[in-house]
Chain A
């Protein structure tokens, strides 16, 4: 239910092909509102105001963007049928590019380099998988090793003597602007401070989303929307997706399959590079070895979580960012999340009872009671346990929703043109 926050972010709604129009967005909005109400109730009950505070939302946004961008990279690639486990490597290339150029020529130049470096990684992947027909996972794994090796090697050569930098980190990069919607802060802050039911929550969320947001975060959100429009509303996107669904059918209609795969994987690399650039420039202000910390893999997971769709991906990245922000910021709020889990499990159990799935319902109920008991018997979760929050939540939501995920049909299959 903690996904609520994300459904209130800008529109790129999942928009399934056969949308039962009108009712779908309405229903989603209703769900979001109910979920928010539950969250708000728990906040009021537990006094864990950080559950919906502007700070949490803003931190969640910053933590979600690199994951979302990496996931978006994965989405482009996999929509064209190329599995991209190499996102992590491309992201690492991006962080280095951003750091190396960024400290010398400013953040925008750094960002451009990050995209370029990621793109080069993407092209290597494309050459291997599309031209040479190499297994996608093999190539991706190789790129992850290469990304790490190349950046460490280059950092040793290029950053070792930089002022304030070293073999493992760059000097600081100057920051990008963080605009706000003018006048909003003054209105929302007092509202949030009152800790009223629902109203303060909405104020907090809006304040987190609309004030003091990095320009690059705005760009990232725009990119998600743009990806949706390009992939689902243009002939180019249709061709690109058809290549991932059935390349032979596409080929038989004259679509240049390899070209589209190349474009998709290159864009994928560029987006992963941008994700790296965000980490270096916006999130950290420097390049540091090991900075990505497996976010490429998490991005991939967020994409699968989001059913290979931009809207779903945003929810996945948002959920991850939210829970990560929560565990990093406030142990009390993480403790309150136990109650959220309890509520969630209760709803699912009720649904299962209604559907007469007795066993599943019983399992759900047991876990619901366990989380309630745990909540009541503790004041705070032990430190190490809180760091699990994002991972456990992701697993939990996936396991409970048991959604039918559908990946592009020809995803991961090596494509060989007819007669080769």
Chain B
């Protein structure tokens, strides 16, 4: 449902790079902001790419922990008032505030990531992902790679969004081996969002799962994932970690990267880039833009050669999902 799955590297808009567009883009991050090596950064990457290609003006604002809706509201309002258009809100927490601000600025196009509750509002573009689909594929890969028939899921914070990852992963694993044991653990409970920032907890939990027999662990835990990788690396050959959001094989520490079998790619960068591009092109995307396996907004990475053995099965499943033969539920 979305225009163009422009993955990194290739870009058809390369020649417009020098031409300065007069579009000004405002982007409001979720808590954690730039440099979280995760979700927010991914949005930042999309923004940076658009900026360098289209020469646009950008303004990035950050959220602070424990803020109220009115603070979020004000942030969006400041951007809209400052003449930024489009304005992108990163994270579902902005939904309520955006609902109010969008009404105040009917001429500004807003984008919101991970929320589609405002899809009926004409000047809001919902940028959402079928995380369960990608998680299904890595779940299948995990089940294939596991020798013990025992895999783990480490969620950062117990929210419905992360539960989508869990749901997909479980179904995927069970589609390959219906007797597989899937251990599930969330590091913290909201509103304690420390679970995305706690590599030590990630490591302890992963270690516990390994001790209880798991040999493949999927880390949907933001910054805590590095702890999971450490635990897997410590367990040695034959154990695998699965990354999330971006291709973590490419960004992780050299000591652990070889243990990252694949990553579930959630192309927040693509969605941000596409949305800005549509605005620059003058045909701004509206309504609900769902990114999924079919448009590569959701995918799994293949940069680690080790995943080669399981690609056939994964691609087969991918086709079935796209065609609708397999329905992946979004709740565990």
Contacts and interface: CB of A to CB of B under 8 A. Distances in A.
A and B are partners in one complex rather than unrelated chains? yes
Contacts of B207: 55, 59, 329
Interface string A36-72: 0000000000000010010110010011000000000
B212 A330 contact: yes
A279 B251 CA distance: 22
Contacts of A59: 204, 207-208
The 7 closest A-B pairs by CB, nearest first: A166-B35, A329-B208, A283-B200, A284-B199, A55-B211, A293-B194, A167-B35
Interface stretch (A79-87, A136-144, A157-165, A354-362): A157-165
A177 interface: no
A172 interface: yes
Interface centre among B184, B230, B253 (most CB of A within 10 A): B253
Given A325-B204, A330-B208, A289 B185 contact: no
B208 A328 contact: yes
B194 A290 contact: yes
A40 B184 CA distance: 26
B188 interface: yes
29 contacts: A62-B200, A160-B34, A164-B37, A165-B35, A166-B36, A166-B37, A167-B62, A169-B35, A279-B200, A283-B203, A284-B200, A284-B226, A285-B226, A285-B230, A288-B197, A288-B223, A290-B65, A291-B194, A328-B185, A328-B201, A328-B208, A329-B208, A329-B211, A330-B211, A330-B212, A383-B158, A383-B184, A383-B186, A384-B189
A168 B36 contact: yes
Contacts of A50: 208, 211-212
Given A288-B223, A290-B194, A328 B36 contact: no
B198 interface: yes
Nearest to A283: B200
Given A167-B35, A284-B199, A285-B230, A383 B194 contact: no
Interface of B: 32-37, 41, 62, 65, 158, 184-189, 192-194, 197-201, 203-205, 207-209, 211-212, 223, 226-227, 230, 251, 253
A383 B227 CA distance: 20
Nearest to B222: A288
A231 to B, nearest CB: 29
A279 B199 CA distance: 10
Contacts of A160: 34-35
Given A284-B227, A329-B205, A329-B211, A291 B198 contact: yes
A332 B197 CA distance: 25
A206 interface: no
Contact of B35 (A168, A293, A328): A168
Given A286-B226, A290-B197, A166 B41 contact: yes
Interface of A: 50, 53, 55-56, 59, 62-63, 159-160, 164-169, 172, 279, 283-286, 288-291, 293, 325, 328-332, 383-384, 387
Contacts of B203: 283
A285 B223 CA distance: 11
B197 A62 contact: no
A293 to B, nearest CB: 4
A55 B208 contact: yes
Interface centre among A159, A284, A293, A330 (most CB of B within 10 A): A284
B33 A383 contact: no
A62 B204 CA distance: 9
Contacts of B208: 50, 55-56, 59, 325, 328-330
Contacts of B35: 159-160, 165-169
A392 B198 CA distance: 21
A63 B37 CA distance: 24
Contacts of B211: 50, 53, 55, 329-330
B223 A328 contact: no
Interface centre among A62, A164, A165, A168 (most CB of B within 10 A): A168
A286 B251 CA distance: 14
A59 B198 CA distance: 14
Given A285-B230, A328-B205, A63 B200 contact: yes
Contacts of A56: 208
Given A55-B207, A328-B185, A387-B189, A169 B198 contact: no
Contacts of B251: 164
Nearest to B254: A172
B37 A284 contact: no
B162 to A, nearest CB: 12
A384 B158 contact: yes
Contact of B197 (A167, A291, A329): A291
Given A50-B212, A384-B189, A169 B204 contact: no
A388 B33 CA distance: 29
A50 B194 CA distance: 25
A106 to B, nearest CB: 15
Nearest to B35: A166
Given A166-B33, A330-B211, 15 more contacts: A55-B208, A59-B204, A63-B200, A166-B37, A167-B62, A172-B226, A284-B200, A284-B227, A285-B230, A328-B187, A328-B201, A328-B204, A328-B208, A330-B208, A383-B189
B10 to A, nearest CB: 25
Nearest to A290: B197
B184 to A, nearest CB: 8
Contacts of B230: 285
Nearest to A162: B35
Contacts of A63: 200, 204
Interface centre among B41, B62, B199, B205 (most CB of A within 10 A): B199
Contacts of A165: 35
Contact of B199 (A159, A285, A325, A387): A285
A332 B185 CA distance: 12
A168 B32 contact: yes
B34 A283 contact: no
A400 B228 CA distance: 37
Interface centre among A50, A55, A159 (most CB of B within 10 A): A55
A325 B200 CA distance: 11
Contacts of A284: 198-200, 226-227
Contacts of A384: 158, 189
A59 B208 CA distance: 9
